[in-house]
Amino acid sequence: MRYISTRGGAPAVSFLDAVLAGMAPDGGLYAPARWPPLGLEPRRVATSHYANVAAHALKAFAGDDLSADEAAQLAGDAYIDAPPDPRDGAWRGKWPEAVTPLRQVRTADWLLELFHGPSLSFKDVAMQLIGPLYDLALQKRGARLSVVCATSGDTGGAAVEALKGRERVDLFVLTPKGRVSDVQRRFMTTAGAANVHAIEVEGDFDACQAIVKGLFADSDFAARAQLSGVNSINWARIVAQSVYYQVAAHALCAHGGVDFIVPTGNFGDAYSGWVAKQMGAPVGRIVLATNANDILARALNTGRYERGASQATLSPAMDIQVASNFERILFESLDRDGAAVGRLYARLAQSGGFDIPPAALERLRADFAAAHADDAETLQTMAWSAQDDAAICPHTAVGYAARSKAAGALTGGPVVFLATAHPAKFPETVERATGERPPLPRKCADLFARPEKFDSLPADAKAVQRYIRERSRAWS
């Protein structure tokens, strides 16, 4: 399988090259040259082991880069801590419910719980697959990597859990000092692994992100450090996230469509649902639920994609103004005209916005709808959900609140809400809304007793470069 750039100006590359590179050299993102079928009968998706569905999705997108056996080993490592039994090839261990349980909350409403991974957010589902995938890819090439990420939220903890102790990867996580919650920070600082480096930067998230962009832009440094990213544009994350849409859609509905309500920031998760649909999953409409940072809701409802000022909200993982993965769906809605995508993004860079061409907008609206909820609505929704059923995290609450606003866009089939974080990851907000502080699940109940290890650096690219140079095993 070959991967092409959404801006049409870079050579096609293989699956592993697309995964390890992150962005294409022309500034675009990678998309598969064609949409492969999942290669598993609908009936089997609904009854199969989660890891088996993941192995098929991985093999479909990897093409010749991975054998079916390797894909199965990786998915087994990620989701059941065990490969298929060599005697009969059968998958044993945890069943799908244990990876992404689907729970009925009302007559036709379901909650897809994506927060049962080690750092309690949906980022774990994809990152758990990226860990073993990187190890295998680097082993094949005899190479090492320095993975760098700037995070204000859940990506850091998920990356630490997935990459700690990996033979060929050193991880550098930059977080803005004092801007992440205690729970989020501790998932980054308590791994106790020599290859994990948590760095607290004396600056805000934009400063962290600017430093990381600068590291990648310094081509000499990037090459010597073998720099790579695991942010939400990483193709392997999209593939991994498409799997729970497959499993949930097939479990609920073999014929019509299942509508999904997706708390959205960088548009990675929502786009993964669209990818599952291209592979044959019975997905109806995907509703983008945004907080006050509502660029996507405005784009879909008005046709104008325009950057606004970023606001801090109670759902911080969605405080994003430019949704990176939106470029991928724009590419599709423009009939894969990379030059047209390039022109629109040049306009965005120059003037902060662009108009989506009418034909493209119509196509987007066939698959997506959008609505936003502010902090007051988020708190209200958390309060009634706790009374009615169970505590939910603020991101999930934005989804609940968006549903009634987007009711006209639903297709009438079952509705699945994506629950993107465990409520215990945002204890202050849950307590404020419901009066009760949610306890951490047993597997990480000792989070506050674990020793923390992190270093502090000024918001200075040179200082961060020096830090990485001294510690990365990939440096040459």
Ligand X SMILES: *Cc1c(COP(=O)(O)O)cnc(C)c1O
28 binds ligand X (CB under 6 A): no
Candidates 65, 154, 200, 332; binder of ligand X (CB under 6 A) is 154
Verify whether residue 443 is a known catalytic residue.
Answer: no
Q: Which residue, 40, 33, 91, 84, is CA-closest to 61?
A: 33
- CB 42, min distance to ligand X, A: 26
- CB 8, min distance to ligand X, A: 24
CA distance 284 to 415: 9
Q: Which residue, 439, 433, 316, is CA-closest to 378?
A: 433
Q: Which residues contact 343 (CB under 8 A, 6 or more apart)?
A: none
Cβ atoms 135, 168 nearer than 8 A: yes
Question: What residues are paired with 262 via a beta bridge?
Answer: 288
- CB 121, min distance to ligand X, A: 4
Query: Helix axis angle, 338-351 relative to 326-333, nearest 10°?
Result: 130
Selected catalytic residue, list 123, 177, 277, 425: 123
Virtual torsion, Cα 300, 304, 309, 314, nearest 10 deg = -10
- CB 270, min distance to ligand X, A: 6
> x-or-dash pattern for ligand X, window 178-217, by CB under 6 A?
----------------------------------------
Q: Which residues contact 409 (CB under 8 A, 6 or more apart)?
A: 285, 287, 369
Beta-sheet pairing, 145-150 with 169-176:
parallel
Q: Which of residues 361-420 bind ligand X (CB under 6 A)?
A: 395, 420
121 vs 195 by CB, closer to ligand X: 121
Candidates 147, 314, 317, 444; binder of ligand X (CB under 6 A) is 317
| Tokens representing residue 191 in the block | 């791994």
Q: Which of residues 62-81 bind ligand X (CB under 6 A)?
A: none
- CB 245, min distance to ligand X, A: 13
Helix (H) or strand (E) holding 60: helix 50-62
- CB 266, min distance to ligand X, A: 3
CA distance 188 to 156: 6
Q: How many residues bind ligand X (CB under 6 A)?
A: 18
172 vs 271 by CB, closer to ligand X: 271
| Tokens representing residue 203 in the block | 């600056």
Q: How many CA atoms lie within 13 A of 93 on its CB side?
A: 19
Q: Which residue has the tokens 């609940």?
A: 400
Q: Which of residues 223-282 bind ligand X (CB under 6 A)?
A: 232, 263-270
318 binds ligand X (CB under 6 A): yes
110 vs 187 by CB, closer to ligand X: 187
- CB 295, min distance to ligand X, A: 12
- CB 265, min distance to ligand X, A: 3
CA distance 172 to 153: 15
114 vs 415 by CB, closer to ligand X: 114
96 vs 265 by CB, closer to ligand X: 265
Distances in Å between the Cα of 468 and the Cα atoms of 177, 187, 222, 456, 457 are 19, 21, 11, 13, 12
144 vs 425 by CB, closer to ligand X: 425
396 vs 434 by CB, closer to ligand X: 396
Candidates 421, 433, 459, 461; binder of ligand X (CB under 6 A) is 421
Distances in Å between the Cα of 449 and the Cα atoms of 177, 178, 297 are 21, 20, 41
38 vs 317 by CB, closer to ligand X: 317
159 binds ligand X (CB under 6 A): no
Q: Which of residues 134-153 bind ligand X (CB under 6 A)?
A: 153
Candidates 116, 123, 185, 250; binder of ligand X (CB under 6 A) is 123
- Greatest alpha-carbon span in the chain: 61
Applying CB under 6 A, which residues contact ligand X?
121, 123, 153-154, 232, 263-270, 317-318, 395, 420-421
For the annotated catalytic residues, the residue numbers are: 123
